[in-house]
Amino acid sequence: MDQITTNPIVIGIDAGGTMTDTILVDQDGHFKIGKSATTPKNEAEGFLASAEDAADAWGISLEQLFSGVNVVLYSGTGMLNTLLSRTGRRLGLITTKGLEDMILMGRGLQAWADYSYADRLHAVTHQHPDPLVPRRRTHGVTERIDQFGDIILPLYEHEVAAAARKLIADKVEAICIMTIFSHVNPVHEKRIAEICREEIAKAGADILVYTSHEVRPVIREQSRLNSVLIEAYATSRGRKQLKGIEDVSKKYGFKYGVQTLLSFGGLTSINHPRLHETMISGPIGGILGAAYVGKLIGNDSLICSDMGGTSFDMGVITRGQTRIENEPLMDRFKLNVPTLHLDTIGAGAGMILKVDPLTKKVSLGPESAGSDPGPICFAKGGTEPTIADCDAILGRLNPHYFLGGKVVLQVEKARAAFEEKCSRLLGVGVEEAAEGMIEMLEADANNALRRVISGQGIHPSEFTLLSYGGSGPLHLAGCSRGIGFKDIITFQFAAAFSAFGCTTADFMRRHSVSTQHDIGARAGDDELLAFGKKVTDVWDDLTRAAVDEMIVDGHARDKIKTVPFLMMRYTGQLEDVEVMAPLPAIQSADDMRRVIDEFEAVYAKVNHRVSRYGEAGFSITELGLIATADKVKPVLLKRPLGKSDPSSAHKGVREAYIGGRWHKANLYEMDRLQPGHEVIGPAIIEHPATTLVVHPQDRVHVDEWTLLHYTHA
C-alpha cells in the first residue's frame, strides 16, 4: 500500500454481531482499516479497540487520531439488541377506543415472519411476538377522525386524563399515543399529548410522551403504531450506547458530535429525534459503498453480498435504482421506516453446526457463536463447532495471521471437537465432513443469490457481484459459482466495506407524509395543474421541516441541498415505486406530465419496459423530501496496470483442502497485490482482516482501482 503522510479526517465504524470494523479516511481519500471483536454489553469497548487497531495501521496514537478527525460515524446494533432481548423502557399506550387489542392482534405477515419452513407448516408451534405494551397498560379513549381528516367524534378529554393517571400510577417510563388517521389530521393526538404532560407535571413524574404523527406520519396504522412503540421502547438504550461512543471519542480529543447512519442511507446526529430510523444501519453501508464502486466500474446493476459471522445480507441495485422498502420487518414487527431493501439469510462463518446422532441430519445454525465465546478455534470458551472452525481445519485460515496475528487459532482443538460432534457421527473423515459443511453454507448463499436475481426481471449476466464482509472473500468461490455474473469483485478492505460505505454517505434528513392522489390516464391540463399545486404545497412544508432540523445540527443553509420525491404506482397496484422529482416544484400541467414520465421511466428500470400500464392511471401514495449536506469521502486511487506476475506479493505455500483433496496453495499478501497482478488457484490471498480462497484453476485479477476480480475456471 502507498505510504500515507497526512492524518485521517473521517472515522467510520460498523459494529456487527461478531466483529467491529473501522475505516480511517484522509482528505485525499486514502484509507486504512481496523478490526476487533464486538462488545454488545458496552459497544464503546469494541469501538475503541477497533479504532486503536486502525490507528496502529496508520502509525498514529488514539489521541492523534481523535483530535484530528472532523467526523466520527458509527453504526451499531445496540437498539436492535434491546428489541431482541426485550430490555427496553416500560411503556403505556393511549389509542382510539376500539383499537386496544391492536398490538395483540398484530398483522398476519409479522406474526409468521422469521419462522422456518417447518414451523410455518405446523401452526401448533406458532406464537405471536411478545407485545411491547401489555393489554393492561393499553387504554382506549373516545375520539374519531375519518380518512379525510374530518372530526367524526370529539375527543373525550376526561377519559384521556383518567388514562394518563392510571399509567402514571403504573410507573411507566414513556406514554405512546396513536389514534386512527392521525397522519391526516393530528389534532387529537396533539391534545392527548398536552393532557398527558399536564398530568405528568401534576404528579411530579419523569415520563416521556411520544406521538405517532411526529414519529412517522404515514398510512397503515399497525406499522405506524409499531414505529412509535419501538422509538419509545428501544432508543433509550441505543442513545446511551451512542452517547458512550461520543464520550470515549471526546475523551481522546474529538471536538464534535458523533454521527450515525440512517436506514435509508444518510448520516445524522446521534441526537436525531427519530433514532429508530437507524436501527439497521450497519448493512446499509454496504449498499452505499456498492453504489460508489458501481460508478467507478461503469456498471449500475449490482448485487451486494455481505457475509460476516452471523448472516448473509444481499442488496440489489438494478439499472441504477435501489429499492426502498417502506415497511421492513424487524424482529417480527412491521415498521413504517423507509429502508434500503435487504434480503438476509442466516449464513455466516460463525454458524453453529449440529448433527443429530439418530437421523444424521446436519443443521447449520440458526445460532451463531458470535464474538463471545466465538468459534472453538478462538479459544475463548466456545464449545460448539462452526464454519470458521471448518475453515481453520482445512488450512484455509492462517492460524498465525488472524487479525494480523492478534488471535492465534487453536486448530487442533477445533479439529478434535469437530471430529467428536460432527464427522464421527456422520461416519466420514474430518476433512470430508468439514468441506461438506462449508459447501452447505455456500449452497444456501448461492441459492439465495439466485432467488434475489430472479425477482429483478433481468439476466444475471447484467449484474456485477460485489462480495465483502469478513467471511465474504473466504466463501466467494462457492457462493458465486454457476450463476453467470458479468463480473465478480471483492476488495482488499472487504472486512470493513460496510464501514467504507458509511463514509461515502452525506448528511441527510428524509421527511414524508402519506397522501392519496389518483390521476386519470387522460387527465386534462386543469386537473394536472390542481394536482401539481397540492403536491408542491406539501413539498414546501417538508422542505422547511427538513432544513430546520439540519440547521439545528450545525449545517449552513447554503450548504443544504433538497430533492423532493414521490411514492407512485399504477392505480390498482399494491407496490409503490420511489421517484425522485425531476424539478423542485410543479407549476404547470407539463411539469406534472414530466413527473409522470419520470415515474414510468423508473418503473421500466425496476421492472421491465413492457410492464408499464399507463392506461390504468396513476396514484401518488406518499410525498417526501430529502435534504443533504456534503462531507469528505474516500477516494479509490486509479493506477496504471503493471505486470501480471504477483511474485512480489508471494509469501509462501500452505497445505489447503479444496475440492476433495489437499493442495499446496500459494500464499499472497493481499495488501501487496498491485494493479495488473494475476493469481491462479489453488491460492490463498491473506489480509489481517479477511482471506480470499482461490479454488484450483480459478483466477483473480487486480484492476487499476486495486479491486480484485474473481473468474471461475
Query: What is the per-residue pLDDT across 478-503, written as a single tens digit (0 to 9) for each?
Result: 999 999 999 999 999 898 888 888 88
Residue 551: how many other CB atoms lie within 10 Å = 14
Find the helix or strand (DSSP H, E) in which 683 lies.
strand 683-687
**pLDDT for 325-366, tens place per residue?**
777 776 667 676 777 887 877 788 888 999 998 898 998 877
Find the helix or strand (DSSP H, E) in which 280 lies.
none
| Residue 384 to residue 437: CA distance in whole angstroms | 14
Q: What string of H, E and C letters represents the secondary structure of 437-456?
A: HHHHHHHHHHHHHHHHHHCC
- Per DSSP, which regions of 270-417 are E strands? 302-307, 312-318, 321-322, 324-325, 329-330, 333-334, 339-340, 343-345, 351-355, 362-368
| Residue 661 to residue 695: CA distance in whole angstroms | 12
| Residue 196 to residue 209: CA distance in whole angstroms | 8
- Strand, helix or coil at 6? coil
| Residue 207 to residue 20: CA distance in whole angstroms | 34
Sign of the Cα torsion 363, 364, 367, 371 reads positive
531: which 3 cell numbers?
Answer: 394536482
Residue indicated by cell numbers 484450483: 696
Among the listed residues 245, 325, 249, 321, the one whose alpha carbon sits nearest the alpha carbon of residue 280: 325
Planar angle of CA 295, 296, 299, nearest 5 degrees = 55
- Strand, helix or coil at 569? strand
| Residue 54 to residue 276: CA distance in whole angstroms | 29
| Residue 627 to residue 608: CA distance in whole angstroms | 30
89: which 3 cell numbers?
Answer: 423502557
- Strand, helix or coil at 185? coil
pLDDT at 48: 93
Check if the beta carbon of residue 445 is closer than 8 Å to that of residue 307. yes
275: which 3 cell numbers?
Answer: 433514532
Sign of the Cα torsion 590, 595, 598, 600 reads negative
State the helix-helix crossing angle for 78-85 and 221-251, rounded to 10 degrees. Answer: 130
Planar angle of CA 211, 214, 219, nearest 5 degrees = 95
Quote the percentage of the chain above a pLDDT of 90. Answer: 50
**pLDDT for 6-62, tens place per residue?**
788 889 888 876 778 888 988 776 788 888 888 877 888 999 999 999 999 899 999
Check if the beta carbon of residue 75 is closer than 8 Å to that of residue 61. no
Check if the beta carbon of residue 8 is closer than 8 Å to that of residue 24. yes
Among the listed residues 264, 278, 263, the one whose alpha carbon sits nearest the alpha carbon of residue 79: 278
609: which 3 cell numbers?
Answer: 419496459
Q: How confident is the model at residue 261 (pLDDT cuts 50, 70, 90)?
A: confident
372: which 3 cell numbers?
Answer: 463471545
Residue indicated by cell numbers 458509527: 74
| Residue 46 to residue 41: CA distance in whole angstroms | 10
421: which 3 cell numbers?
Answer: 460432534
Check if the beta carbon of residue 270 is closer than 8 Å to that of residue 416. no
**Cα distance from N-terminal residue to C-terminal residue, the chain:** 29
**pLDDT for 402-452, tens place per residue?**
877 888 999 999 999 999 999 999 999 999 999 999 999 999 999 999 988
Q: What string of H, E and C letters represents the secondary structure of 462-531?
A: HCEEEEECCCCHHHHHHHHCCCCCCEEEECCCHHHHHHHHHHCCCEEEEEEEEEEEEECCCCCHHHHHHH
| Residue 625 to residue 536: CA distance in whole angstroms | 11
Pairing state between β 312-318 and 343-345? antiparallel
- Strand, helix or coil at 296? helix
Pairing state between β 91-96 and 19-25? unpaired
Q: How confident is the model at residue 118 (pLDDT cuts 50, 70, 90)?
A: low
**pLDDT for 165-217, tens place per residue?**
999 999 999 999 999 999 889 999 999 999 999 999 999 999 999 999 988 88
60: which 3 cell numbers?
Answer: 498514529
pLDDT at 512: 86
Check if the beta carbon of residue 47 is closer than 8 Å to that of residue 75. no
The mean pLDDT of 542-564, rounded to a whole number, is 90
Pairing state between β 71-75 and 10-15? parallel
pLDDT over 90 (residue 311)? no
- Strand, helix or coil at 74? strand
pLDDT over 70 (residue 111)? no
| Residue 90 to residue 477: CA distance in whole angstroms | 48
pLDDT at 84: 67
Mean model confidence pLDDT for the chain: 88
Q: What string of H, E and C letters represents the secondary structure of 217-231?
A: CCCCHHHHHHHHHHH
pLDDT over 60 (residue 3)? no
**pLDDT for 511-527, tens place per residue?**
888 888 889 888 899 99
Quote the radius of gyration of the chain (alpha carbons, Å).
27
pLDDT at 364: 85
The mean pLDDT of 82-92, rounded to a whole number, is 82
pLDDT at 319: 80
pLDDT at 100: 92
pLDDT at 1: 44
195: which 3 cell numbers?
Answer: 393532557
Residue 424 vs residues 387, 392, 433, 435, 661: alpha-carbon distances, Å: 17, 18, 9, 14, 19
168: which 3 cell numbers?
Answer: 402514571
Widest CA span in the chain: 82
Query: What are the phi and psi torsion angles at 657 (to 5°)?
Result: -95, 110
Quote the percentage of the chain above a pLDDT of 70. Answer: 94
Check if the beta carbon of residue 253 is closer than 8 Å to that of residue 63. yes
pLDDT over 70 (residue 636)? yes
The mean pLDDT of 382-411, rounded to a whole number, is 91
Residue 653: how many other CB atoms lie within 10 Å = 14
Domains and CATH numbers, the chain: 6-80+235-276 (3.30.420.40), 84-229 (3.40.50), 286-346+439-502 (3.30.420.40), 349-437 (no CATH), 506-627 (no CATH), 645-709 (no CATH)
pLDDT at 64: 92
